[in-house]
Structure 1
Amino acid sequence: MMEQKEFYRKSLFQESAGLSKSSIEKIERLEKRLGKSFLCVALNYGFLSRKRWKESILKAEIELFSFDYSSLQPISKAQVVRDNLPEFLNSLIFPLIQDEGSLEVVLSDPSDAININKIEKLLGQQITKIHVAEDLDVLKALHITYGLDYLDQAVFRIYDNDRESCAIETFTKKQLIAIGILIGLGILSFFFFPVGTSITINLILNFLLFCAIGFKFLLTLYGSRMETAQKITKSELSKVTDEELPFYTILLPVFRESEVIHKLVWNLKNIDYPLEKLDVKLLIESDDTMTYEAVKNMNFPCIFEPVVVPFAMPKTKPKACNYGLYFSKGKYLTIYDAEDIPDSKQLKLVYSLFKKLSDEYVVVQCALNYFNKKENLLTRLFTLEYSYWFDYMLPGLDSLNVPIPLGGTSNHFRFDRLMELGGWDGFNVTEDADLGLRAYAKSYKVTVLDSTTLEEANNDFINWIRQRSRWIKGYMQTFLVHMRHPIKLYRKVGLKGFFAFQFFIGGTFFTFLVYPVLLLFLLFILFLHTGLLDSMVFWNDHNVSDSLLEYIEVFFPNWLVVIAIFNFVIGNLMMIYVNMMAVFRRRSYTLILYALINPFYWLMHSISAYKGLIQLVTKPFYWEKTNHGLTKSSKTSVG
């Protein structure tokens, strides 16, 4: 058997695939260390491209097997496969047919005698017939046939273990009753006390709007005190040795990302971490033919292991990440999006920080920013927003020791604590913010780190609206979930955490919903004060402006208009100032004047907020896809 193995290794890998003897020796060392098959290591650790391997198989005149995924059935010993699914995935062997007299399998490496023997022992039967297929096809067959138990956990684990924390139910019966009572009281109050009700509602909305904006302004001031802080010094980082570093899992959820998959491979190669200690999982939806084919036909080696997520609703990023957890083996885990360019030292920095922190710290959030910030007006405004959010506001929350809503990527977890928390809520479309709050509610802590991952800023208005409406809808979901029992939330997070949650999570979407309504009322009243209405030719009565103004002033007296004007002026000035501050840490001084456009940028948020509100009612779990790879920027690395 060993002679046959060496023959195949030489003919398939060395002669046909072009692997050098030194590469084969390295692969064999990793094969023993990682417990993966030779081919699995060769394809997933940067030694051999999938396209080259396919050519080698065809050159050897071995016919490639084609799966009919719709007709695949578990074998008689299906439970053995389910219980040992990682072993079958690492061996790249799919048991096709099993009966008393025969065992027929599909595998990717006919030279892999070690793993063939291993699978025979697991199934208690010798293999009588083999077929050869591409590794991605074998992986897909294994996942969709035997991964359904993991899939069920990925979708429903939060719901099964803690139903009150799951967003599967958008509005609880009590919340609907409370909303109904509030609306009913408002209508009755307006019917019996129209003037007093109108003034009271205006005052409440203006007060809450000011508080929400003021809280973010204060957070920025708090965060600015940490502007030059370094949690890990260069001296501390230099003392980290490769030998002490643990396995580190990187989840890469992708969906229709064929246009950026090549950049992803390049960016991963720039990560400064021992290759044999990286556990990189590329999460591909089983019906995402575009990305699936792009990975199969890659003509250069990559350093990720594909995980094919079986089809299930909802089709969301958190569901895919939850599925990937069950095949991860790192002590720490992070998520990157397909277009991300992480700081090359980020994993080592996070590891060093976790060593310094107590066990109650379970998540480290790194900063996000953009590599195409100067591409157009939208990317400039987006960069200003991300800069004050990650460089000032989140550090401000950190310094106050209150709940921190996580960003979508570059959040690094202690893996065991992440599993204890149940992973992400597959029904929440802003799952990262929700997880940060759930962690805090269980007395765990989240902190931030001054290491940056560069992303692609949306350069298209419609694409931006899609992305932002999903984010704001997720904030609404998160607010509704955690406010199902306000008193219980207060007891879990304390007074400081409770108010931080109200003004940061609730205040964010409240601001965007209320801002245009109050602005329109204010502009209309000011319009009446100018007398321009009288000059319009279609009015017969030239005193209509005065008459209308007298009527409206009953509901909106002058002192209330003054308060509204003050609120809008001060509120916008505070946010303009916050945006201007955002340029200093990154030294992006050319963006400073664009902060003046922030009031109009907020109106874009309001459009997104109302779209998100409508979707919250009509399709709450719908994951609005953000298209990547639209930028013309060619930057591919960050220091």
Structure 2
Amino acid sequence: MSAPTDPPAGETVSRSLDAESRLPVLAEGIDSGVAHLLPEGLCRTFRVQPYALLHREPDTLGDPEQHAQGASDTQPVVLVATGEPDDPIALQVVRDRLRRPVWLVPHALPELMAAIERVHPARARTPETAEARLERAQLGDMLLASGLLDQQRLDDALAVQTGTGDPLSEVLVAEGFVEESVVVAALSELHQIQRVSLIDSPLDHETADRLPEPLAREHAALPVAVADSTVLLAVARPLVGEPLAEIEAHVGAPLRQLIAERREVDHLMQRAHGPHHVEVAESFLRETEPELAARPLLTAPQRLAALVLIALVVLAGWQWPADLARWTAATVSLVYLACCAQQLVLAHRGLAGRTELCPDAHLPGLPDSQLPRYTVLVPLHGDDAGHVATLLESLARLDYPRTRLEVRLLCVDDDFETRRALDDADLPPYAFVSVVPRAGARTRAQLCTVGLMQARGTHCVVYNVDDLPDDDQLRVAARCFADAPAHVIALQAKLNVALDDGRAGLVRGWASNELAGRFELLVAADTARDGLAELAGSSLHIATAPLRVAGAWDPHHDAPALDLALRLYRQGYRSRVLDSTTVSTGHATLGSWFRWLCRQTTGALETVLVHARHPRRLRRDVGTRGLAALGLWLAPHAARLANPLLWCVVSLASAHRLGLPVTAPPMPWTLVAVSLLLVGNLTATWIALLGNLRRREFGLTRAALLTPLWWALSSLAAWCGVVRLVLRREEP
């Protein structure tokens, strides 16, 4: 065993004792800083419970074999209550888990179990039924007797099962202890249910439709055929009691269960309901709230209003050109100054305090039994096929119970390159491939919406193929969802790009500064006060039920995350920034970031056009404060669009002073343009520097000081976004 390490900061609330004092006991209380150092399953299985830290030299404690090597007077010893102090296996397991000096202190078993119950209350777990207990015992004995499972792995699985409360069969497969086919065969024998293979099996759509899709998804069950007035029900795990009765009531006929591997059942359900999922993703918003759908973009009244506005501008420019120019200059100046002021206020508010949502440092994380089921959605396209192996490695590092984790790898059925890469990959048991029928928009938003309808988790998160989230991001999000108010249903993790030892090229430096200023300061400060802020297309954690009701992502929107943010805001939901970071390891190029900035402007303008179709309803939904927030939300895009106009004024004035034959703008205009450009560029540079300060990425200072070049690039991209929107071809 390696040398013990210091405990993490914030986890030690030590009790200093001199060499003559006796050891503390459980009756004196449990130190909150060490109570959760061991997981619940290990505590219950080996009947141990950390309860205090002891600062004294190990040789004063007695037998030196009772603690880890490498202890010193500066290395605190973890006191662990046990009912069997001479158990070498328990001691070794505790040592390996804590990786620091430990001391097993004998306690009466009733006192110890009561302490474990206080630290890990059982109220949130569903009590194990007699049938489940019998199945667990029989399944373990059967696998041991057949030699398909050794005692060590069974003990590990039982420890996990005790902590999560999930069935042993799920734990064995999810943890990779036993193959899915072995567990299915064992459950088939135990429950006397016929085992079948669903690969390439025919599908009777009429029979499959007898069970509502949400119920089929919840129980991983699908009617496949009818034999002698009995419906054959394919299941991933045997159903008993209430679930079986509920399905039988919906089907309206006696049931006979057929057990198959979960991936086969999932694939058959995709064949049965996949086309319907695509149809819903394409038409849900257009049918339920057509005024909020991005297809078509402009309604007839909007087209008429646009023509009238253009005509009025042309007429004013012909009749009163000077007045039009003055009013335009005044409007641009006010918008520009308002944008800069808002950005500075939010940036300094974000720097002044922690505005992200993070778990209370004094509270333990949620025990495994209380963690929600999480679905990870990963949309894939042809260019992503080469990153599948890296993606699986990244997801494998997530610290989350495998029985509560579901990964959906989403691709279109004619994307043969990606499908081939997924077929060749060694997918973990919790990963499923969702093949989406080719129809409709075929966008990333469409894939995510289809994946959402297939998700079994109560919460979901979207990752890109090249994302590397913090290992504990799902646990942190689950803790924050549990502590947050009910109207907070979305948590946006902070984004960053991969850097090498804090150094990066200029483009990566600009990108990192952009993301730091946005998520560390601006968006975090805005959402902390229930304001309207942008959501990103990646690392968005959200509750699945309200997301489904809201219509999920619009597949025809250029920036669906922006549209979703405003739709959720109108429905009374709010979001927060999560104190966890996702790093993009993809290759950041100037072209890719230029296209991203272009889409952001297109999406912002598109969002305004969609949600402004009914101004009165918008005012009623968001209120005066919401309208002001929406205006400030769009101000940065307006400022980027105003930059080239200011450059033109300054360029004409400079050319005139150089003697070129051009008409110089009035001196006040030139002064205003120069002042606004200075204010805008200094604001952008200052926010980039503050973002570096917040993230402590001091190696990016050079890129921050060159932010005016990035600001100019983003202005050009903004106008490209306008052109892209104007030239957008409306689909029928």
Q: What range describes the TM-score normalised by the shorter chain of this pair? A: 0.7 to 0.9
| Alignment partner, residue 615 of structure 1 | 724
Q: Are the equivalent residues in 1 in contact too, given 2:516–2:692 (CA < 8 A)?
A: yes
- Quickly say closer, same or farther: Cα 1:186–1:378, change in 2 above 3 A: same
The alignment's C-alpha RMSD in Å is 4.2
1:564 matches 2:677: no
Of 303, 313, 330, the residue aligned with 1:176 is: 303
1:383 matches 2:512: yes
1:398 matches 2:527: yes
Q: Are the equivalent residues in 2 in contact too, given 1:49–1:298 (CA < 8 A)?
A: no
Deviation string 1:356-390 (CA, Å, 9 cap, x unpaired) is: 22212222222111223734211110000000000
- Aligned-pair CA distance for 1:565: 0.8
| Alignment partner, residue 407 of structure 1 | 536
1:592 matches 2:711: no
Of 173, 176, 199, the residue aligned with 2:326 is: 199
> Match of 1:512, as an amino acid?
R
Normalized per residue, the structure richer in helix is 1
Of 576, 581, 595, the residue aligned with 1:466 is: 595
Q: Are the equivalent residues in 2 in contact too, given 1:372–1:457 (CA < 8 A)?
A: no
> Helix, strand or coil: the match of 2:711?
helix
| Alignment partner, residue 478 of structure 1 | 607
| Alignment partner, residue 629 of structure 1 | none
- Quickly say closer, same or farther: Cα 1:501–1:103, change in 2 above 3 A: closer
- Aligned-pair CA distance for 1:22: 6.9
- Quickly say closer, same or farther: Cα 1:320–1:22, change in 2 above 3 A: farther
- Aligned-pair CA distance for 1:216: 1.9
Cα distance in 1 between the residues matched to 2:550 and 2:303: 28
Of 358, 364, 368, the residue aligned with 1:242 is: 368
Q: Are the equivalent residues in 1 in contact too, given 2:208–2:272 (CA < 8 A)?
A: no
> Helix, strand or coil: the match of 1:283?
strand
- 1:427-446 superposed matches below 5 A: 427-446=556-575
- Aligned-pair CA distance for 1:404: 1.9
| Alignment partner, residue 606 of structure 1 | 715
1:448 matches 2:574: no
Relative to the length of structure 2, the TM-score reads: 0.67
Deviation string 1:154-174 (CA, Å, 9 cap, x unpaired) is: 222222221111111212222
- Aligned-pair CA distance for 1:529: 1.2
| Alignment partner, residue 621 of structure 2 | 492
| Alignment partner, residue 630 of structure 1 | none
Of 49, 52, 77, the residue aligned with 2:207 is: 77
- Aligned-pair CA distance for 1:520: 2.8
- 1:143-222 superposed matches below 5 A: 143-222=270-349
| Alignment partner, residue 517 of structure 1 | 645
Q: Highest CA radius of gyration, 1 or 2?
A: 2
Cα distance in 2 between the residues matched to 1:370 and 1:621: 34
Q: Are the equivalent residues in 2 in contact too, given 1:81–1:88 (CA < 8 A)?
A: no
- Aligned-pair CA distance for 1:458: 4.8
| Alignment partner, residue 304 of structure 1 | 431
| Alignment partner, residue 545 of structure 2 | 416
Q: Are the equivalent residues in 2 in contact too, given 1:268–1:303 (CA < 8 A)?
A: no
Q: Are the equivalent residues in 1 in contact too, given 2:375–2:406 (CA < 8 A)?
A: yes
Of 487, 491, 496, the residue aligned with 1:360 is: 487
- Quickly say closer, same or farther: Cα 1:317–1:33, change in 2 above 3 A: farther
Of 655, 658, 668, the residue aligned with 1:530 is: 658
| Alignment partner, residue 251 of structure 1 | 377
| Alignment partner, residue 350 of structure 1 | 477
Relative to the length of structure 1, the TM-score reads: 0.76
> Match of 2:207, as an amino acid?
K
| Alignment partner, residue 223 of structure 1 | 350
Q: Are the equivalent residues in 2 in contact too, given 1:94–1:142 (CA < 8 A)?
A: no
Deviation string 1:467-496 (CA, Å, 9 cap, x unpaired) is: 332232222211211222233322322222
- Quickly say closer, same or farther: Cα 1:87–1:333, change in 2 above 3 A: closer
| Alignment partner, residue 501 of structure 1 | 630
- Which blocks of at least 5 consecutive residues in structure 1 are unaligned? 54-63, 534-544, 623-639
> Helix, strand or coil: the match of 1:330?
coil
Q: Are the equivalent residues in 2 in contact too, given 1:397–1:403 (CA < 8 A)?
A: yes
1:329 matches 2:456: yes
Q: Are the equivalent residues in 1 in contact too, given 2:356–2:524 (CA < 8 A)?
A: no
| Alignment partner, residue 635 of structure 1 | none
Cα distance in 2 between the residues matched to 1:141 and 1:287: 18
- Quickly say closer, same or farther: Cα 1:145–1:83, change in 2 above 3 A: closer
> Match of 1:303, as an amino acid?
Y
| Alignment partner, residue 413 of structure 2 | 286
Deviation string 1:206-261 (CA, Å, 9 cap, x unpaired) is: 3323322332222212222224877423331x253212222222222222322222
> Quick check: 587-596 or 210-219, which moved more?
210-219
Cα distance in 2 between the residues matched to 1:190 and 1:84: 59
Q: Are the equivalent residues in 1 in contact too, given 2:263–2:432 (CA < 8 A)?
A: no
Cα distance in 1 between the residues matched to 2:507 and 2:730: 27
* Matched pairs, number: 568
Deviation string 1:428-452 (CA, Å, 9 cap, x unpaired) is: 2322222222222122222222221
- 1:18-97 superposed matches below 5 A: 46=176, 74-80=204-210, 83=213, 86=216, 90=220
Cα distance in 1 between the residues matched to 2:355 and 2:289: 40
Cα distance in 2 between the residues matched to 1:94 and 1:282: 25
Cα distance in 2 between the residues matched to 1:559 and 1:114: 79
Cα distance in 2 between the residues matched to 1:488 and 1:413: 26
> Match of 1:401, as an amino acid?
D
- Quickly say closer, same or farther: Cα 1:328–1:104, change in 2 above 3 A: closer
Of 426, 448, 460, the residue aligned with 2:555 is: 426
- Quickly say closer, same or farther: Cα 1:24–1:387, change in 2 above 3 A: same
> Helix, strand or coil: the match of 1:243?
helix
- Which blocks of at least 5 consecutive residues in structure 2 are unaligned? 1-134, 184-196
> Helix, strand or coil: the match of 2:371?
coil
> Match of 2:641, as an amino acid?
L
Q: Are the equivalent residues in 2 in contact too, given 1:371–1:455 (CA < 8 A)?
A: yes
> Match of 1:285, as an amino acid?
V
Cα distance in 1 between the residues matched to 2:376 and 2:358: 22
- Aligned-pair CA distance for 1:581: 0.9
- Quickly say closer, same or farther: Cα 1:113–1:167, change in 2 above 3 A: closer
| Alignment partner, residue 633 of structure 1 | none
> Match of 1:519, as an amino acid?
W
> Match of 2:373, as an amino acid?
F
